[in-house]
Structure 1
Amino acid sequence: MSTRIGVRRESNIISTSSRVADDGKLYYQVEVSCCSYANNNELAVMPGERVVRLEWNRRYLSVLGVENNRLYELRLQTPENVFVQEENDLRQVMDSFRVNKVTV
């Protein structure tokens, strides 16, 4: 959601999964594609004067884990056009995410 006039955002959930990591804890992974469309003239009176264009297109990758009665999230994002080149590195970072028990 955007607070700017004439901006529309669309998102699609690409995948969701859960896994038990080597620390024995359950982690959830969510992958979302999000596009932002903006009008070239948001204050135009006539619809024909408002040309919609793609402003940006991103891929969001999240890993969620629970520890210490708190929810922790690792959130990564990359432009969609470079996601293919960075995918292996991003997935490696996601797989390395761990939550630790804090003792006081």
Structure 2
Amino acid sequence: MLKQYLTEFMSTRLGVRRESNVLSTSSKVADDGRLYYQIEVNIKSYANNNELAVMPEDRVVRKEWDRRYLSVLGVENNRLYELRLQVPEEVFRDAENDLRQVMDSFRVNKITA
């Protein structure tokens, strides 16, 4: 999952660097009897203010953004389903309980023809 996130959020701009950390992984059987996996990842993006500068001191690195990615994965109908939430780290602290409720409510349904 971490490789997938980094691939999705890779930048083509010069002077951009992304750092990521897997914060937690877990699995649980929900009330519907299915197994769900939860993954939390933090990704920070840094960019140079002047990526074409010749002198290193003219390339000042600053943080562009710092985001938390919360994923819940479930399998049904031979397919992988994902609920992904993303929120700035500073917002996550205030909304953590609500976000975790959304994660816990995720369910996959069996489709019958």
Aligned pairs for 1:80-95 (under 5 A) are 80-95=89-104
Mapped pair 1:99 → 2:108 = yes
CA distance in 1, matches of 2:12, 2:33: 42
CA distance in 2, matches of 1:6, 1:59: 22
Which of 54, 57, 80 is the aligned partner of 2:63? 54
Runs of 4+ in 1 over 2 A off after TM superposition: none
More helix by share: 2
More strand by share: 1
Aligned-residue Cα RMSD (Å) equals: 0.6
Unaligned runs of 5+ in 2: 1-9
CA distance in 1, matches of 2:54, 2:35: 52
Mapped pair 1:76 → 2:91 = no
Structure 2 residue identity aligned to 1:71? L
TM-score by length of 2: 0.90
Deviations 1:15-71 (A, max 9, x none): 000000000000000001110000000111121110000000000000000000000
Q: Which residue of 1 aligns with 2:6?
A: none
SS of corresponding position for 1:102: coil
Aligned pairs for 1:21-40 (under 5 A) are 21-40=30-49
TM-score by length of 1: 0.98
Which of 48, 51, 65 is the aligned partner of 1:42? 51
Moved more, 39-48 or 90-99: 39-48
Structure 2 residue identity aligned to 1:62? S
